[in-house]
Amino acid sequence: YPFTGRLHHLQEEDITQINKAIEKVGIKNLRHRFVEELSDGERQKVMLACAFAQNTPLLILDEPTSHLDVRNKVTMMNLIRQFAKEEGKTILFSTHDLGLAKNVASRIWLIHDGKMLDESTEHFMANKSWKPLLEGIDEEVINWL
């Protein structure tokens, strides 16, 4: 959509970017299906391909793994990480899944009690900066992190 102009016609470069995104996300099998026919997980993959196709230097993704099972969460995050690395993109994503963030992100911005923390993922984990999020939870559960 960002490149189609007033008449919403796709140019050759648009089609190239769309095909590249479809290939990268692995959704060729969904190409001729209507969105309302797709599962929530399939829709998430289509939305990711749409974001990739826009070919912007920065992507902001809101909960890109919501409605996905564990296998597809891992697949989705690997795609996002690989895309950022190969294409030189900056990707900012929101998540409530700390385990996911610590395994994918290079930096973590934590918003808690009206304050924002910005640390490298390495420091975030080493400093246990996540601990205030888990106040009142058994130490055994916290050790899962």
- Cα Rg, the chain, nearest whole Å: 18
Q: How is residue 19 annotated by DSSP?
A: H
Contact 67, 40 (CB under 8 A): yes
Contact 63, 95 (CB under 8 A): yes
pLDDT at position 2, please?
61
pLDDT at position 88, please?
92
pLDDT at position 118, please?
94
Residuewise pLDDT in 10s, the chain (145 residues):
566 666 778 888 888 999 999 999 999 999 999 989 998 888 889 999 999 998 899 999 999 988 888 888 888 899 999 999 999 999 999 998 888 888 889 999 988 888 899 999 999 889 888 878 777 777 777 676 6
- Encoding tokens for residue 78? 């690997």
Contact 1, 26 (CB under 8 A): no
pLDDT at position 3, please?
60
Full-prediction pTM beyond 0.85?
Answer: no
- C-alpha distances in Å from residue 122, one per residue of 27, 37, 88, 97, 102: 33, 41, 21, 16, 8
